[in-house]
Amino acid sequence: MSIGEDIRTGLEKDPATLSAIELILTSPGLHAIWTYRFAHKLWKLKLRILARVVSNWAKFWTGIEIHPGATIGRRLVIDHGVGIVIGETAIIGDDVLMYHGVTLGGKTLDPVKRHPTVGNKVTLGAGSKLIGNITIGDGCAVGANAVVTKNMPAGTVAVGFNARLLNLIGDEFYII
């Protein structure tokens, strides 16, 4: 994970941002990810209160809440990030694109894995909610405002309030 890689990926996935300096100075998603990485290191060192303080500082400044206990892969891009919540036991793979208002939330108060696992090359649409210890397979897409409470096999698309899984074959969808 490198700063250069974050900047290159941000420029590739955000056509509205025209330069690296613009991205560095104006991207709350990038700021939240960088701050999360610092907080996550503190969390792993068992400096949990300090990690939570750093995390809350980032939430105040960016509108993006990433628990320092979450696990995030490489090249996550958060576009228009306000309202994003990523829970403590969430796991996010590589090359994920996340729009504003996404929630990776829990379903239980028990001290277990209670947040989603998101695979590689997944797109999470604006306002989508992934709830519980579910797995979103590689290459999936979750439509805007979809609510997902069940596992999604790789290559599927979730749409609707009570999300239905669709399989993408070529340019055609069919219901699973």
Q: Dump pLDDT digits (tens) for 46-65.
A: 999 999 999 999 999 999 99
How far are the Cα atoms of 9, 59, 120, 150, 156 from residue 1, in angstroms, in the given order?
Answer: 11, 22, 15, 30, 28
Distance (Å, whole) CA 154 – CA 166: 11
**pTM score > 0.85 for this model?**
yes
Distance from CA of residue 78 to its chain's centroid? Answer: 7
pLDDT at position 163 is 67
User: Which amino acid type is present at position 78?
Assistant: I
Residue 169: both structure tokens together: 């074959």
pLDDT at position 76 is 97
CATH classification at residue 68: 2.160.10.10
- Number of domains into which the chain is organized: 1
Domain span at residue 103 reads 3-175
